[in-house]
Amino acid sequence: MDTLIIKDINNKTMQTAGEIIRGGGVVAFPTETVYGLGASAYDDAAVKKIYEAKGRPSDNPLIVHVADVCDVETVAREIPWNAKKILESFAPGPFTIILKKKDGISDTVTAGLDTVGIRIPSHPVAREFIRACGVPIAAPSANLSGKPSPTRAEHVIHDMLGRIDAIICGGDASVGVESTIIDLTADVPTILRPGGITLEDLKKVCTNVEVDRHVLEAVAAAEQPKCPGMKYKHYAPDADVTVVEGELSACEKKIKELVKREKEGGKTVGVLAAADADFGADLFISSGKDNREFARVLFDALRSFDKNGIQTVLVQLSSNDEYSLAVKNRLYKSAGNKIIFV
Ligand code: AMP
Ligand code: MG
């Protein structure tokens, strides 16, 4: 299949993208979190193409994207008061709310669940694209299933060229990790996946917020997490990833030791850490000054290690802040829970 690459964002090209969606096609588009892979949420056959293009298991539901808060009621059966409060405070922005779904949203989108994830991205190109489509857009991240999510147009082109109808190129994602997923179908709002809207943000507007325990645990496939996607292998580059977590100097010492050992074993080694403490790695990538910056560079770094033929990746995790939960959640999964605490 020929994939149309849209680099010029204007009224005409957005109308073209909208026509592709209304005609049952699949279009990748930029958002502030990661790039999405969109199809009409009303079109079962189109949504199935998303699962095919990604190689995504069919029991892992997609998030429905709308352009404005007033459109949430076209997707949700009811909007409870805490959802209204969260939307008022943070929309548009990097979060998804889980509500009871309205009829008409394809069962393929929700993987047969009675609930639906709804998101209003803040990225101007995402909103322009959704408006041009005129329908709610079902979209997961625009990567091959299991691979790190795409934060740059080149990542999408790498994974999706020839598999989908069009790719809208809109620069680099500013948040860099997927949306915070907040389940609002029970009394207490629960974070199923941490992201750009943090636990601390939510606590400012909701008296009680919980974090689902699967967020930081290895999950046995037999156990059913509330967020179906959490049970699958995720964010995994081809390289073998190990997280080294703890106090800065202890981590640096441990990483240096591991770099030496891996290189002696004939492996090419990459290090992702806050400061280049002369680790002796084949490729060093800086994770930035805090976890907000770490989130922004994380997926691009994992893809860069693969591109450069790195076999072993060592990641330093030392600082704790509001964004730690989102970074840790992704890193633990990339590492298949290979974590060394020092
Ligand atoms: P992605 O955008 O690729 O990260 O995929 C969407 C994520 O949202 C997956 O982890 C899904 O499991 C999750 N999700 C979508 N709909 C629901 C829902 N109704 N209930 C719980 N989780 C959901
Ligand atoms: Mg994904």
pLDDT tens string 297-334: 999 999 999 999 999 999 999 989 999 999 999 999 99
**Which residue owns the Cα nearest ligand 1 atom 1?**
140
> Best substitution site from 50, 63, 137 to test ligand 1's pocket, by max atoms within 8 Å of Cβ?
63
For residue 106, what are its two tokens?
A: 């394809």
Among 189, 342, 143, 125, CA closest to 252: 342
pLDDT in tens, 28-54: 999 999 999 999 999 999 999 999 999
Q: How many CB atoms lie within 10 A of CB 8?
A: 8
pLDDT in tens, 140-156: 999 999 999 999 999 99
Is ligand 1 within 6 A of the CB of residue 63?
yes
Integer CA distances (angstroms), 317 to 31, 118, 172, 243, in order: 26, 31, 23, 7
Q: Which atom of ligand 1 is nearest to the CA of 115?
A: 19
Q: What is the mean pLDDT of the chain?
A: 94
Full set of structural domains in the chain with CATH: 4-216 (3.90.870.10), 240-341 (3.40.50.11030)
Q: Which atom of ligand 1 is nearest to the CA of 117?
A: 16
**C-alpha dihedral sign at 196, 214, 328, 36:** negative
pLDDT at residue 108 greater than cutoff 50: yes
Rounded distance from Cα 282 to ligand 1 centre (Å): 36
Rounded distance from Cα 339 to ligand 2 centre (Å): 22
Query: Residue 264 carries which side chain, given as an amino acid letter?
Result: E
Q: Which atom of ligand 1 is nearest to the CA of 116?
A: 19
pLDDT at residue 229 greater than cutoff 70: no
Please work out, in degrees rounded to the nearest 5, the angle formed at the alpha carbon of residue 73 by the alpha carbons of 72 and 75. Answer: 75
Rounded distance from Cα 115 to ligand 1 centre (Å): 10
Dihedral-angle region of residue 190 (phi above 0 means left; psi in -120 to 50 means alpha; beta otherwise): beta
pLDDT in tens, 153-184: 999 999 999 999 999 999 999 999 999 999 99
* 115 in Cβ contact with 100 (< 8 Å): yes
- The model's confidence at residue 231, banded by pLDDT at 50, 70 and 90, is low
> Best substitution site from 100, 107, 181, 183 to test ligand 1's pocket, by max atoms within 8 Å of Cβ?
181
